Structures are given as structure tokens and as C-alpha cells.
Chains A and B, each alone.
Chain A
Amino acid sequence: MATEAQSQEILRRRLPNRWGLLRAHWRRSREQIKEVTRHPLGLIGTGLIVVFALMVLAHPVLMNTVWDRKRFDPIVGFDAPLAPHPTSPTSIHPLGTDGFGRDVLSQLLAGTRISFAVGLVAAVVAVTISTLMGGSAGYFGGTVDAILMGIADVFVLLPAPIVLMIFGLLVKMNWLTVGLLYGVLTGLGSQAIVVKSHTLSIKVKPFIEAARVAGGNNLHILRVHILPGLMPIMLVHAFFTVVGAVLTESLLSFFSRTTHYLSWGSMIWLGQETFRWFDLSGQWHAIAPPALAVMLFCSAFYLVGRALDDVFNPSLKKRR
């Protein structure tokens, strides 16, 4: 007869290592992620994201090698020899200069950095919060579910962009605050509810019961069996959160509610203000690049999100 400790030891050895399990999940999702790049929409989206990433890298390189700091700085640069500003595109300034004599291309590249940062912060925060909340609400049920979903119900009522606009009137916000607050507001709201429903669908599967019979405690089951199952939906929502966060950040900058002096939103504001100053003749070369950038950036993340959704939920695959 084996003692208690020995039987525990045997059980532990026969159960697969949980990190091994996670790795196996990751390997499977890596296959699926590869599938995304074969998806036509996903391919376009991934290509665009790579282009934007290159734009982020290009700015410091160009600033340190080709561009003169005084003339090409995105915020305080001024091209004195080229007065009066704004000027149309030339070989020195491929996208022209704006009303303050700043290079539009330099601003565009610098703005990419902020969009990426805001999107990343918001996505990470939203995914973390929604997984913690939705996962535990779905798994534990009962009182925990009632309390957490009550909170989620309140936050669904809060339109994140409007709340951030109100906050922006009262406090100074930089890109980090915008990202964090957007992540918190969306993560506590609709995303938590969606994650909860997915947790419920995983919770009723037989392997969870098997894990419980084998002696796994709640933390173990949540970490090893439920979290990997939630990874696909989390990834999809992370991409959609980036779209929302970048649009919101641009909106806040457009309405001058942020304190970082440069963003695509503020560039668009300046561009469209020129149409109001000079009736009917504005600077298309200053307003079109940031506008297109916002649109392409958001559609890139949206397309990749949709492609991921198609790969992870293969209900669309032809049955006949």
C-alpha cells in the first residue's frame, strides 16, 4: 500500500506539467496565428501594421541622420528659410509644412508612436481586467457573479469617449492616462460580460469536471484549463480595443483634451481649422495624411481582429 504522500507524488507525476499544457496551447494558437496571415483580410491588416511599425522606427532614425533637429522637430521645429508657411509638398518636405512651419511627415511619423502606445496600453489593461472579472464571474457564479456583473452593468452605461472627454476638461491627460482609462472603462464594461459568457461555455465542458475529480483546486483549473481557452477571445478583443482606443485618443486630441502636444487628432484639427480661416481653400496636404493614417491604422487592427475571429471561431467554414 502506498502512503498518502506517495500517491500524491504518483498523481503529480502522471498529471502533465501545467506549463507544458500552456505551451501546448500556445503551439496550437501559433498555428492558428499563422493561419491568420494566410487569410486575405488578415494579410492586408498584418502588412499595414508592419508598415506602421516601420514608421515608428523610422522617425528617430531620420531625426538622427537626415533631418536637422531645428527644422524637422515634430513639435517645435520651424523651417525659417521657407517662409511664408504653410507650403505645399516639395522635395525637402515630402508632405509640405503646416501653418506653424512644421514638417507634416515628421509629425505623422511621431504621431504613429503615440497611437501604438495608447493602443497597446489600452489593450493590455482591458484584456487583463476583463479576464480577471469575467473569468471569475463565470467560473464561481453565485454572489461573485452577481457583484461583478452588477459592476459591469454600470460600466456598460459609461460611453468611454464621452467620459474621457469630461475627464479631459477637469484633469490633464497624457497618452498613458488616456490608454489606462480607456482600458479600465472598456475592460470593466462590455468586455467583461463577453468574457464571462465564454467562460460559462468552457466551464460546462467535461475536462473541467475531470480536472476537479483529479483534485485540481479552483486556481489550478482557472489557470491551466480556463485561461488558455479564453486566449482566442482575449486576442480578438485586444485588437478591437486598439481600434477604439486609437479613435478615442484622436478624438480627445481633436477636441484638445490631451497634454501630449502631438497626435494625429490634433493634426487633423489644425488642418480643418485652416479651411475655416481661409474660407474654402485649406491645406489638403496637411489634413489628408493624418486622416488616412488614422483610418488605415484602425482598419489594419480591425481586419486582423476579424481574421483572428474567423480563424478561432470556424463556424464560417463551408459545411456544404
Chain B
Amino acid sequence: MTKYLIKRTISSIISLFLFLTFMFFVMQIMIPTDFTTQFSLILNRQQREQLKQELGIDRPLWERYLDWANRLLRGSLGTSFYGYPVVNELKRLIPKTLLIFLSGTTASFFFGQWLGKKAAWKGPGWFSNLTTFASITLYTSFPPLLAFLLTYFLGRRVNLFRAMFRGNALQRLDRLLWARASLQPEQVMTYMMLTTATVLGFLTLVNWSRKRRREPTLPLWQQLLFFVLGTLGIWFLFGFGRLALDILQLSILPILVFTLLSFGETMLIMRTSMQDTLQEYYITTAEAKGLPEKTIRDKHAARNALFPVLSRLVISIPYLLTGMVIVEDVLHWPGMSQALFESMYNQDVPVVMGALVIVGIVCTVTRLVLDILYAYLDPRIRYTTRSLEAI
């Protein structure tokens, strides 16, 4: 296992670096002219040459690449062509994107696999047909349109959520509240994510310890109650409860859209794989032993059915990120992808590369975690290299 872990980590770091190299050269080759001729028309020739020298774009491509790689390996993302450090810009953007991405992905994964499990367990019938129809519709529907329709009906017609058709979504935060607060929205978002993760981790620990002592785990409603009360309690205890609720109100629509966009696939795969598992002989054996239905469904069938869902999730991380781009663009959420495309327009290569580094790291880390989880759950995988090959 340790050997597998080391091998997998090293190979994914190498592939991440190759990905970034590829994107670097694509950026440099495809941008039509250089920054100075495009955006500083007031300068005369001498000043332009000087600016080029300052920005370092007068040097040959390979030299620029080596310089960039050298800086990246030391952990520096460089400075933008507009003068500010890239890291500061990214620090402002990452929490906004991660808030939607993480909560949406988690929600869609759990909801999708739960629904798939139910649909397969109930067998053919109206429930299975309805859920399958809904999932195929969501999976194939045109993402921007879905986002638009939800904004239109839930945000405008019913006024359930605060939604924006134009401008910046965060402008609709409660001004009075934020004027008195000493925190920035992105800081509050970071704290929100950290506290939620802490509460979730605590819950997992409680469940695990109960399982070790062979006690039944807490019922679902108790866990949910504990989760909600615990998170809210911590938020208000640390004094940013009202701010956090304000942000939550605003971000619930993007999270909803993102969840709907990504859960169809999980549900479909879970249903198929659960149907497969239910045909196995060990399920018949479990039934013959007279085990309760819930135990068979949740422990014998669903756990084994989860493998294809996990390995499929590896493939779909990039597509989840695409969903993120759409959500940000249509709902005007000022996150990473907005900044990425804006700096593409401005030909601000350092910022673009910085954003791509983050995208690459997110993809790699998620894949690595899933691969390790998969290897932990299914020992056969340790002898090959990739969880994708087990589909």
C-alpha cells in the first residue's frame, strides 16, 4: 500500500507538471501579439521596448519557459502584467469557487447515490422510471439554459432567492451588515468551509468510534440535526453567524444549479451498478440468512455498487469544473473561471497560468484521493496503477 501510494503521488505530480507545460506553450504560441503592442498604444517605441524588458516578454520562448518552471517549482506564481502578485488575486478568488464546488459536488454525490440505490432496490416501477427520466433529462439538458431557467423562475418570478441577471452576484450582499463587519466575504467563506469540515469530521469520528464499540450508529435525523446545529452554533459563537447566513442565502442558488447539473450522472451509474450487484449470489445468501432488508441494501449491495461510481467520478471531475464555469458565468458569481476568462481577454499570461495551476492541482488532488480511496477499498487495484482501468 505504501509503495502504491508513493508511486501514485509521484506519477500524478509529474503528469500535473506536464499538463501545465502543455498549457504554457499553448498560451504562448496561440496569443496573437504580445501584451505591449496590444494594450499600451500611448507608449513610443523606446518605452515599449523598456516595458517588454520589464515584463520579460522580449526573451525567447524556451528561456521564458525555464524561468516560469523555475519559479513554479519554488512555489511562486509570479506577478501579473498589471503589477500585482498573482497569489493575492487567487487568494481572493479560490474560496468563492471552492464554496460552490465542494458543497455542490458533495451534495450531488450523496444525493445521486442515495437516489440510485433507492431506484435499483425498488426495482422496475414508477419510482425507477421517474428518477431515471429526471436524471437523463438533467444529464443531457443544456447547462446554461438550466441555470437561466432556475434563475428566472426561482430568483425572479417567485423571488425565493436573491438572483442576479447582470453585474456581480456579491453586490447583492447586505450592505449595512458588511459595512459594520471587519471581515471580507472571502474570509467568511473560508471560515464557513473550515467549520463545516470540522463538524463533518467530528460526526465521522463519532460514528467510527460507535462502530468500533459495536453500537448502532446514530439515526440519520439525529446526525442531520447535530450537523446543522453544530455548524450554526460555531458560526454564531465566533461572531460571523449573520455574515455567513447572508452569504449562504446568496450562494444557495448557484449550489442548487451546480448540484442539479452534476447529480444525474452519479444517479444513473449508481442505479446500473446497484442492479448488477443485486444479481450476485451473495445477496441471495444474505436474504436466505434472514438478514433485515436495510442491512442487505446498505451494507451488502450499496457498498459494492459504489466502486463504478467512484471511478466514474474521477473522469467527471473536469466536467464538474466545466459546470462550475457555466454556473459562474450565468449566475455572475465572481470566481476563478470569471477571472480566468477576463485575464485571457487582457492577455495577462501570469494570472491565466496561476488559475490553471489551481485547476490542475484541484483535479490532481481529487483524483489522487479517489484513487487512494479506491485502492483502500479494493485491494486488486494496488497491483495495477489506475482506478479508471477498473470500470
Contact = CB atoms under 8 A, between A and B. Distances in A.
Interface of A: 149-150, 153-154, 156-162, 165-167, 169-171, 190, 193-194, 196-197, 200, 243, 247, 250-251, 254-255, 264-265, 268-269, 272, 275-276, 280, 287, 291, 294-295, 298-299, 302-303, 315-316, 318-320
Q: Which of B31, B279, B389 has the most CB of A within 10 A?
A: B389
A109 to B, nearest CB: 18
B386 A193 contact: yes
B276 interface: yes
A171 B360 CA distance: 23
B391 A197 contact: yes
A291 B140 CA distance: 10
Contacts of B166: 276
Nearest to B388: A193
Contacts of A269: 144
Main secondary structure of the interface of A (DSSP, over half): helix
A316 B279 contact: yes
Interface of B: 11-12, 14-16, 18-19, 22, 26, 30-32, 136-137, 139-145, 148, 152, 156-157, 165-166, 272, 275-276, 279, 284, 314-315, 318-319, 321-322, 325-326, 329, 337, 340-341, 344-345, 359-360, 363-364, 367, 385-386, 388-391
A251 B388 contact: no
A25 to B, nearest CB: 23
A162 B321 contact: yes
9 contacts: A153-B11, A159-B359, A162-B321, A162-B359, A251-B142, A275-B165, A276-B166, A318-B279, A319-B279
B30 A167 contact: yes
A170 B32 contact: yes
B349 to A, nearest CB: 12
Given A171-B30, A200-B389, 7 more contacts: A150-B15, A156-B318, A157-B363, A157-B364, A165-B325, A190-B388, A265-B142
Given A157-B19, A162-B321, A194-B388, A303 B326 contact: no
Contact of B140 (A194, A299, A320): A299
Contacts, number: 135
A150 B388 CA distance: 13
Nearest to A291: B145
A197 B384 CA distance: 10
Given A250-B142, A295-B137, A302-B139, A170 B31 contact: yes
B344 A166 contact: yes
A66 B165 CA distance: 40
B253 to A, nearest CB: 16
B365 to A, nearest CB: 11
Contacts of B137: 295, 299
A166 B18 CA distance: 18
A20 B335 CA distance: 58
Q: Which of A154, A193, A194 has the most CB of B within 10 A?
A: A154
A295 B388 contact: no
B331 to A, nearest CB: 13
A83 to B, nearest CB: 28
B30 A162 contact: no
